[in-house]
Chain A
Amino acid sequence: MGSTNTSGDLSSEMEVDAFRRLFPLHFHERHLLESIRTDARPLGKARDTSLALGAVASANGSALAKIGCTTMLAAIKMEVMTPTTESPDEGCIVIDFHMPPICSPIVRPGRPAEAAPVVSKQLSDTILSSGMIDLKELSLVSGKAAWMAYLDIYCLDADGALFDAALLSAVAAFSHLEIPVVSLNDDGRVVVVSDEDGGKLDKEAVNKEKRKLKLSSVSFSLTCILHKNYILADPTAEEESIMETLMTVDCVALTRQRVKELQKILNEAISDMEVD
């Protein structure tokens, strides 16, 4: 084909960076023919993942997740609210995903990224429908008071696989979450007990000590890209922009391996925190 020949001829004369910018698809395809990707990863391998729990000191639970260069900061803040009449024994979780302009050159102030509300909705659905958290655990006084957990996830660097990193940071933040101690005020309102007043507790505490949430069936995800007949796991932003088909949690074999890796990383992070 004419265009392949042109780029083929030019590739011998041009610098690598220039060829990468001008003919990105050919650049990537030349790598795929050798079953390798532009950052020297094999096709099915994900980027280096790391987790840090407790990144934000002022929040009740927080985590910083990095998959390659994609960075997500998740923080949970708890507030007391009155539960609805249909479910007086259940608390509530509100999930919000933000993409501030620092994360990517395509996000402009005043024009939010297209990916932000999409990932936000996907994340909300996944976490609430997977049954990872039992809302009954967030109840304080049946019918009168329950916890509202606000989960805010900020994307600090958008380099592909946003949903994976966001889900990982959300799960990690929930596993780090400690429910604060509260007591009932004289007016019957629930008041958060701060550590300093711990000694002079004349009002009885509703829950005696800070406790952690029990997480069941934790979910992890893997985003993959399909191009011609190659399946690439964990794409970078460059790969996402030039190849069309994007799927999350589709290739079962790759996902199983990835789930094992992620579970191991999460457990290591949690055990590091407990030693402190």
Chain B
Amino acid sequence: MEFVSPEGLRLDGRRPMEMRQIRAEIGAVSRADGSAVFEMGNTKVIAAVYGPREVQNRSQQINDQALVRCEYSMANFSTGDRMRKPKGDRRSTEISLVIRQTMEACILTHLMPRSQIDIFVQVLQADGGTRSACINAATLALADAGIPMCDLVTSCSAGYLNSTALLDLNYVEDSAGGPDVTVGILPKSEKVTLLQMDAKLPMDTFENVMQLAIEGCKAVATYIREVLLENTKQLEYRRGV
């Protein structure tokens, strides 16, 4: 099947190095300490952060840092066919672990000992790149909750089909069986916190694809910073500053 036409257009009309349209909104869930909705094309994800609060399971309490917990679940109607088991299956558990480890790397946990930070992510619509959308949404939600972090974490995916490196795969391109590289970075310090890949790639091609994904992450980071600045301006305005 052809994923890149001879004119250089993908199935949804994008160029190979073009990301899908991103949209973010802060403060969607009023009951949460911090929350955000993040959309990448048709993938829609909502993240809520509760914390820092008292540890619910005393035996898990850590005396010198905060405990970070994460849960990823997909809505029954998020994928094409209705899902039978939205959480507790292996994929959801794996993604929960991945998001937790990625966020733990940037939260300054030593500032909040003996407390717990819960990150809950719910996928409302899945069209490829849910992992990345979840990490971006979690970053915004943590910032909305005022939890101290050393840097933002942004994530993007890239693949390699028809001998072209493609940025931000959607579901059809993802299920084509080609390589799929997901990268999560700390944009200011230029450090990589998440790197996952399916299938195989020769080393030099891999470097190109990873570089493309990092460019995508930086673009997301610019957008997230704009959204946060706008949000802060609104808060200042409401306080009468």
Give the B-binding residues of A (Cβ under 8 A).
56-59, 62, 69, 71, 73, 75-77, 79, 96, 98, 100-105, 108-109, 150, 152, 154, 156-159, 237
Q: Are the C-beta atoms of A150 and B76 separated by less than 8 Å?
A: yes
Cβ distance A73 to chain B, nearest Cβ, rounded Å? 7
Q: Is B196's beta carbon under 8 Å from chain A? A: no
Give the contact stretch, choosing among B44-52, B102-110, B228-236: B44-52
Q: Are the C-beta atoms of B29 and A157 separated by less than 8 Å?
A: yes
Residue of A whose beta carbon sits closest to that of B80: A58
Give the A-binding residues of B (Cβ under 8 A).
28-32, 35, 42, 46-48, 50, 53, 56, 69, 71, 73, 75-80, 82, 118, 120-122, 124-125
Q: Are the C-beta atoms of A56 and B122 separated by less than 8 Å?
A: no
Q: Are the C-beta atoms of B75 and A152 separated by less than 8 Å?
A: yes
Cβ distance A157 to chain B, nearest Cβ, rounded Å? 5
Candidates B28, B77, B79, B120; contact of A101 at CB < 8 Å? B120
Q: Are the C-beta atoms of B124 and A105 separated by less than 8 Å?
A: no
Which B residues lie within 8 Å of A102 (CB)?
29, 32, 35, 46-48, 120-122
Cβ distance B235 to chain A, nearest Cβ, rounded Å? 17
Cβ distance B113 to chain A, nearest Cβ, rounded Å? 21
Residue of A whose beta carbon sits closest to that of B96: A109
Which A residues lie within 8 Å of B32 (CB)?
102, 105
Which A residues lie within 8 Å of B118 (CB)?
101
Residue among A76, A77, A102, A157 facing the most chain B CB atoms (10 A cut-off): A102
Q: Are the C-beta atoms of A152 and B31 separated by less than 8 Å?
A: no
Q: Are the C-beta atoms of A77 and B77 separated by less than 8 Å?
A: yes
Which A residues lie within 8 Å of B69 (CB)?
109
Distance in angstroms between the alpha carbons of A175 and B93 in the assembled complex: 36
Residue of A whose beta carbon sits closest to that of B69: A109
26 examples of A-B residue contacts, CB within 8 angstroms: A58-B42, A58-B78, A58-B79, A58-B125, A59-B77, A69-B30, A71-B29, A73-B124, A75-B76, A75-B77, A77-B77, A79-B82, A98-B76, A101-B48, A102-B29, A102-B32, A102-B35, A103-B29, A104-B31, A105-B31, A109-B69, A109-B71, A109-B120, A156-B29, A156-B122, A237-B31
